Structure 1
Amino acid sequence: MYGKLYGAWLKAGMDAWSLGAEASMVIGLRMAKVAAGGPAAAKEADLMVSEKMHAAWELQSQLLMAPLGMTPLGATRKTLSHYRRKVGANRRRLSR
């Protein structure tokens, strides 16, 4: 039993690491866009702030309504999944 639980937490840790790596890529892409200046840079800066606020608000709403899970592991997995979708969408958009 403990081995299976340990493996699940290890996977969650690897998912968190992967999210961090992808978020670092998005930060680099965003900084390049902002450094280029112009209207696109201003729009990206506004989008960066509003997306972060919206993603946090969505997660907080889910937490209050309890669909994040009944266990710490379940909540961790759903939280990571929530942010991976957001970060992945930004990476795809900024990589075009």
Structure 2
Amino acid sequence: MFGWWTLTMDTAMLALESQQVIGMRLAMLATGGTAAQAEMERMVTEKIAAAGEAALLVATGGTAAGVVAGYRSKVRANARRLSRR
């Protein structure tokens, strides 16, 4: 029972944290310039790498909770980095 509840809560938090990062990235991209271009390239590269990591985790017996935890870690790191700008 608690496993599903924890996964549900972690997934909900991932959605909320992702929206925060999306908002900060959109604000940066709206300003244009080299910083915006670098952020866009970073975003695409991160997404490809994160999808590969998630696929590898699942292929080697990882769980959905592990995938969500990995994504949350990356999203929180982006939120910290973007909020310092």
**TM-score normalised to the size of structure 1?**
0.82
Is residue 43 of structure 1 aligned with residue 38 of structure 2? yes
Is the 8 Å Cα contact of residues 57 and 67 (structure 2) preserved in structure 1? no
Q: Which runs of 4+ in 1 moved over 4 A?
A: none
Q: What percent of counterpart residues are identical?
A: 40
- Paired position in structure 2 for 1:80: 68
Q: C-alpha offsets along residues 65-92 of structure 1, whole Å, 9 cap, x if unaligned?
A: 33x1xxxxxx121011110111011001
In the TM superposition, residue 64 of structure 1 has moved relative to its aligned partner by 2.4
Decide which structure has the larger Cα Rg and report it.
1
Matches within 5 A, 1:6-85: 6-66=1-61, 68=62, 75-85=63-73
Q: C-alpha offsets along residues 20-69 of structure 1, whole Å, 9 cap, x if unaligned?
A: 00000000000000001100011111111110000111111222233x1x
Q: How many residues align?
A: 84
- Paired position in structure 2 for 1:93: 81
RMSD: 1.0
